[in-house]
Each structure stands twice: as structure tokens, then as C-alpha cells.
């Protein structure tokens, strides 16, 4: 697999020279400064690509776009969508013109990944991302005061949520809101409580079936052009794979993925396998999902989580947690072998270590939450060891 690294652009604390020291050679990035729904100009794409390749000694390349965002109006299905679809198609054409042909995107309403703690303490002084079910319930029921929110939480979780809320200070509540909003790196929309209520009102008529249909419309509008220009689109699973704030989530399990890939049966309509997102649900067998959809996986996020009975979970070590990471790696390497033997030119699957712990000298640095250098370096080193061992034992191409 191609070892890649998410880089947030020139302002990222983790520099390109640091990325090369990790052993990664592919860069995963996006033009975060361009507003959602606006065309990515060729000149901007070329400038970012030139920056990545400016030091030839690093031998880095722009491997994957993550993400080319889908405008909220497309998800809701409101207003004049033709210009937004047209702009998205033009961005794909411009990326293909510049030789960038793997595009990760998501269809999560309002927010991307969500956590309630960004610096949960680990033994020895490190920190991890964590989702506490009771803190999320406190936010949903008592801060956001969403109508009928209590029905979405168990009595035990609600009791803990009420206790947390009653004992919380204004700064505790502000921090919780900021933590939940932190899963929008580079986003132009940051919501306060009134803002969240307004955007949720826009979704009042969008249930699971309607959101599925809106995604199907997006795919029908976009995938033919992606196929035409040689781009492989790969949708990212919901993180976490559950409803948040009453909003439907439609990329959460094996059935969802099967539906999405069936809308247009094309190699251009593919999947980002995120083992951590899918692994946050006890009902998901991540290695089985990897095997079933292997021929449509064009990108992989490899990380692990430890789940708790009430729905809470925490980012674990990459080889720890509840997902059998070795089995996931075997599935991906076996798919690579199939592609290579079939003569598929893009047979290698780009992978990146996702959501590392904050460790050692990274503690306290202003990195994006979940994206410190040392924790991801540790994860990449562990995953590289598994990949190398599996490839050697099973005669599989790396």
C-alpha cells in the first residue's frame, strides 16, 4: 500500500520535511481556503502540487484529495443545485488535468467527525480523542435543547448527562461545543447553539430515505464525469456511525455501503475504508466489510477504537482497540494482488494512519485535533510492520 499522510497545507505545524521523516511518500490534502461549492481553479491546484513537490529530495506527491466538500444545500436538496453540481464537476476536471485522480469526500450532515473530548489523558501524559455518550447527550438535550432529543438516549446515559450539565460551568459548556465543532478542519461554517438550531431546521424534512435519495442524485450528477476524466471518488463513512442531533446518517454500515455502490456500478463510485469510523459500531465487522467491498476501495484510513456498552468510545492504539487490524490489512493486500494480476494500473491502495495520540513533544502543540506528528508516526510504523510481515508470509505485493 502507498503510505500517505494527511497534511493541512502551508499553515500545518507538521511540515512536509517532517512528513518525509515518517516514511510516508504520499500527501493527502485539500484546498481548505476555498469555500464549499466554489470551483477549485487549476492555478490553485497546480500551486499546491508545486509546493508539495518543491523539494525534490523529499520525493513527495499529492496522492489523494481529502476532501472535496459537498455543499450543505446538496445534502439537504434545497435551492438551485445545478450550479453547485456544475462547480463540483469542474473541480474534478481541473484535478484530473493536474494528474490528481483519487478524491475522498463525505455526505455527513452539518458536522464531520464528532468527539466530546480532544485531550483525554493517557497513562504517562499523552492524550487521545474520546466520545462520551453522556456528554454528547448533555449537549443534545440540555444545551441544544433539541425537541424530543431524550428519546435518542438511554435512561442511564440521560441520568449521567443531567448530572454533568447541572455540575458544568459556562466554560465547560463552551469547551464541549468547541470540541464537537472541531471535526470540521478547514470548514467555513462554525456553529454556535443558535446557528446549529437554524441549520437543523433546514433538515426538518430530510429523513434517512430523503438523504439517501439526495446522495443518489449527487452520484448521478457527478460520477459520469469522474469516470470520464479518470477520477476515483471514494466516500468516507460516518464518524461516528450513528445519528447525531437527530440528523440521519447514511454511510454507517454494510447495507449503506452496498446501497451507495449500487446506485452507479462504476469504478469511479468507490469507498474510503475508515476502520475507525466503521469500527465505532458494534454491529460492523470491519474485516468482512473490507473483503466484501475490496474491489471498490480506493483509499484507506487505518485507526482503531475501543468501544463501551453505552456508546462511548476512544481512539485506541492503531493495533489495539476492537478491530482486528491485521485482518483488515490482509484483505487490502490481497485485493492489491488481485488488481496487479488483473493488470489494473492503479493497483496500490493509498493508506494513511488516522487520528494518532498526542505524545511526547507533541503534547500542547497547536496541531489539528487527532493529527499530531508523533502519534501518527507511531501508528504508521506499527501498520508498516504489519504490512511488511503479512506481505512476506503470504507472498503479497506491498
Q: What are phi and psi of 380, to 5 degrees?
A: -65, -40
Question: What's the angle, vertex CA 334, arms to CA 333 and CA 338, rounded to 5?
Answer: 115
Using an 8 Å Cβ cutoff, are 34 and 186 in contact? no
297 strand-pairing partners? 271
Spatial distance between the Cα atoms of 33 and 283, rounded to a whole number of angstroms: 37
- DSSP assignments along 188-246, one per residue: S----HHHHHHHHHHTTT--HHHHHHHHHHHHHHHHHHHHHHT-EEEEPPPSSSS-BTT
Report the candidate in 279, 282, 363 with the shortest Cα–Cα distance to residue 323: 279
Spatial distance between the Cα atoms of 112 and 215, rounded to a whole number of angstroms: 16
Spatial distance between the Cα atoms of 328 and 274, rounded to a whole number of angstroms: 10
Query: 305-307 and 232-235 as β-strands: parallel, antiparallel, unpaired?
Result: unpaired
Report the candidate in 313, 398, 308 with the shortest Cα–Cα distance to residue 347: 398
Spatial distance between the Cα atoms of 233 and 224, rounded to a whole number of angstroms: 11
DSSP 117: E
The tens place of each residue's pLDDT in the chain, 398 residues long, gives 999 999 999 999 999 999 999 999 999 999 999 999 999 999 999 999 999 999 999 999 999 999 999 999 999 999 999 999 999 999 999 999 999 999 999 999 998 899 999 999 999 999 999 999 999 999 999 999 999 999 999 999 999 999 999 999 999 999 999 999 887 655 556 688 999 999 999 999 999 999 999 999 999 999 999 999 999 999 999 999 999 999 999 999 999 999 999 999 999 999 999 999 999 999 999 999 999 999 999 999 999 999 999 999 999 999 999 999 999 999 999 999 999 999 999 999 999 999 999 999 999 999 999 999 999 999 999 999 999 999 999 999 99
**Other Cβ atoms closer than 10 A to 133:** 23
Residue 307 C-alpha cell reads as 468501544
Give the largest CA-CA distance in the chain.
62
Secondary structure of residue 1 in the 3-state scheme:
coil
Element containing residue 390 per DSSP (H, E): helix 373-394
pTM of the predicted structure, to 2 decimals? 0.96
Question: What's the angle, vertex CA 365, arms to CA 359 and CA 369, rounded to 5?
Answer: 75
What is the predicted pLDDT for the residue at 333? 98
What is the predicted pLDDT for the residue at 185? 58
Spatial distance between the Cα atoms of 8 and 43, rounded to a whole number of angstroms: 18
Spatial distance between the Cα atoms of 39 and 97, rounded to a whole number of angstroms: 14
Q: Which residues are designated catalytic? A: 236, 274, 301, 354-355, 371
Report the candidate in 382, 50, 88 with the shortest Cα–Cα distance to residue 224: 88
First to last CA, the chain: 5
What is the predicted pLDDT for the residue at 390? 98
301 strand-pairing partners? 274, 352
Residue count (the chain) = 398
**Count of CA atoms in the C-beta half-sphere (13 A) of 155:** 0
For domain 2-114+200-394, give the CATH superfamily: Divalent-metal-dependent TIM barrel enzymes (3.20.20.150)
Report the candidate in 73, 36, 76 with the shortest Cα–Cα distance to residue 247: 76
274 strand-pairing partners? 301
DSSP 139: I
What is the predicted pLDDT for the residue at 186? 53
Spatial distance between the Cα atoms of 394 and 333, rounded to a whole number of angstroms: 9
Using an 8 Å Cβ cutoff, are 103 and 64 in contact? yes
Report the candidate in 338, 373, 339 with the shortest Cα–Cα distance to residue 353: 373
Residues 6+ apart with CB under 8 A from 306: 313, 314, 316, 320, 321, 322
Spatial distance between the Cα atoms of 155 and 312, rounded to a whole number of angstroms: 15
Spatial distance between the Cα atoms of 279 and 238, rounded to a whole number of angstroms: 11
What is the predicted pLDDT for the residue at 182? 87
Query: In this structure, is the dihedral angle defined by the CA atoms of residues 357, 363, 364 and 368, taken in order, positive or negative?
Result: negative
Amino acid at each position: 500500500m502507498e503510505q500517505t499522510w494527511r497534511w493541512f497545507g502551508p499553515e500545518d505545524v507538521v511540515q512536509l520535511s517532517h512528513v518525509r521523516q515518517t516514511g510516508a511518500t504520499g500527501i493527502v490534502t485539500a484546498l481548505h481556503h476555498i469555500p464549499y461549492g466554489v470551483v477549485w481553479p487549476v492555478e490553485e491546484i497546480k500551486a499546491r502540487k508545486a509546493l508539495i513537490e518543491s523539494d525534490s529530495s523529499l520525493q513527495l506527491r499529492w496522492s489523494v484529495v481529502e476532501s472535496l466538500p459537498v455543499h450543505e444545500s446538496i445534502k439537504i436538496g434545497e435551492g438551485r443545485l445545478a450550479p453547485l453540481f456544475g462547480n463540483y464537476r469542474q473541480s474534478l476536471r481541473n484535478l484530473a488535468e493536474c494528474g490528481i485522480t483519487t478524491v475522498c469526500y463525505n455526505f455527513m450532515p452539518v458536522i464531520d467527525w464528532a468527539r466530546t473530548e480532544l485531550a483525554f489523558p493517557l497513562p504517562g501524559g499523552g492524550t487521545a480523542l474520546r466520545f462520551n455518550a453522556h456528554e454528547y447527550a448533555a449537549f443534545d438535550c440540555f444545551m441544544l435543547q433539541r425537541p424530543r432529543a431524550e428519546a435518542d438516549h438511554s435512561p442511564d446515559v440521560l441520568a449521567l448527562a443531567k448530572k454533568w450539565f447541572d455540575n458544568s460551568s459556562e466554560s465547560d459548556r463552551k469547551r464541549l461545543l468547541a470540541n464537537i465543532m472541531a471535526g470540521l478542519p478547514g470548514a467555513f461554517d462554525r456553529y454556535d447553539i443558535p446557528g446549529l438550531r437554524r441549520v437543523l431546521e433546514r433538515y426538518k424534512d430530510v429523513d434517512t430515505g430523503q438523504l439517501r435519495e439526495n446522495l443518489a442524485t449527487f452520484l448521478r450528477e457527478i460520477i459520469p464525469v469522474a469516470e470520464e476524466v479518470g477520477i476515483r471518488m471514494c466516500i468516507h463513512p460516518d464518524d461516528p456511525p450513528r445519528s447525531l442531533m437527530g440528523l440521519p446518517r447514511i454511510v454507517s454500515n454494510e447495507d449503506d455501503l452496498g446501497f451507495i455502490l449500487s446506485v452507479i456500478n462504476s469504478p469511479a463510485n468507490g469507498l474510503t475504508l475508515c476502520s475507525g469510523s466503521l469500527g465505532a459500531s458494534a454491529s460492523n465487522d470491519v474485516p468482512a466489510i473490507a473483503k466484501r467491498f475490496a474491489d471498490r476501495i480506493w483509499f484507506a484510513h487505518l485507526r482503531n477504537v475501543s468501544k463501551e456498552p453505552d456508546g462511548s468510545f476512544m481512539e485506541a492504539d492503531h493495533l489495539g482497540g476492537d478491530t482486528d487490524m491485521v485482518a483488515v490489512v490482509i484483505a487490502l493486500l490481497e485485493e492489491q494482488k488481485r488488481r496487479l494480476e488483473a493488470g489494473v494500473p492503479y493497483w496500490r491502495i493509498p493508506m494513511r494512519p488516522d487520528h494518532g495520540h498526542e505524545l511526547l513533544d507533541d503534547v500542547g502543540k497547536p496541531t489539528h485535533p487527532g493529527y499530531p506528528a508523533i502519534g501518527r508516526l507511531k501508528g504508521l510504523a506499527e501498520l508498516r510492520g504489519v504490512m511488511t510481515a503479512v506481505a512476506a508470509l503470504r507472498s503479497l505485493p506491498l
